[in-house]
Amino acid sequence: MEYAQNNQVPQPIVSKQSVREIGGHRVDVVTYGFADKIVILVSRDGNLGKMYNVPLISSAAPQLFSFDNSFNDGDVFSLLPLNRLTPIPMLGASSDDIEGRIYAAQIASLICRQSPEERRLVVIGMAHAHNPSDTITTSSRMEFIDILNLVGKCRVW
């Protein structure tokens, strides 16, 4: 037991956390890196409401009009989610939850763009951000970008 002699225990789970006030709400992002998956929890005022999983391994089917690799960081297309990623609702989410699917696909796209060789399953838990009947405003767009930036700071991939 080599690690016992050095008083070091191997750390099987890497985790990071970041907190910020966004849109008048406390947003906590906690990420966990396991051997087989990445778990990202985005809570709003301490609440989680839905979960998705997003496999990062692309399907064998050809992608028409793929823009996955045709962007630069400053390009407007870098804000589009990768079209090969499909968020799958798990808990508290339904297949017609467009906002949740966009957040999940965008977070998974962020991981793929930062680490193109990453193949672990991504599990994303998040709070219910807005009422579906609300209109999208400039402030809601800025909240979206702020949350993505917060997730990017908690990189475990």
Instruction: Quote the pLDDT of residue 5.
Output: 47
Query: What's the chain's Rg over C-alpha atoms?
Result: 17
* pLDDT greater than 50 at residue 98: yes
Query: Which residue ranges form the domains of the chain, and what is each CATH number?
Result: 24-153 (3.30.230.90)
Please name the residue ranges forming H helices in the chain. 2-5, 98-114, 138-153
Mean pLDDT on 17-25: 94
Is 129:123 a contact under the CB 8 Å cutoff? no
153 or 9: whose pLDDT is higher?
153
pLDDT digit string, tens, across residues 22-68: 989 999 999 999 999 999 999 999 999 999 999 998 655 554 444 44
Helix (H) or strand (E) holding 9: none
| pLDDT band (50, 70, 90) for residue 2 | very low
81 or 70: whose pLDDT is higher?
81
72 exposure class (CB count in 10 Å sphere: 0-12, 13-18, 19+): exposed
Instruction: Quote the pLDDT of residue 96.
Output: 82
| End-to-end CA, the chain | 28
User: Quick one: DSSP state of residue 100?
Assistant: H
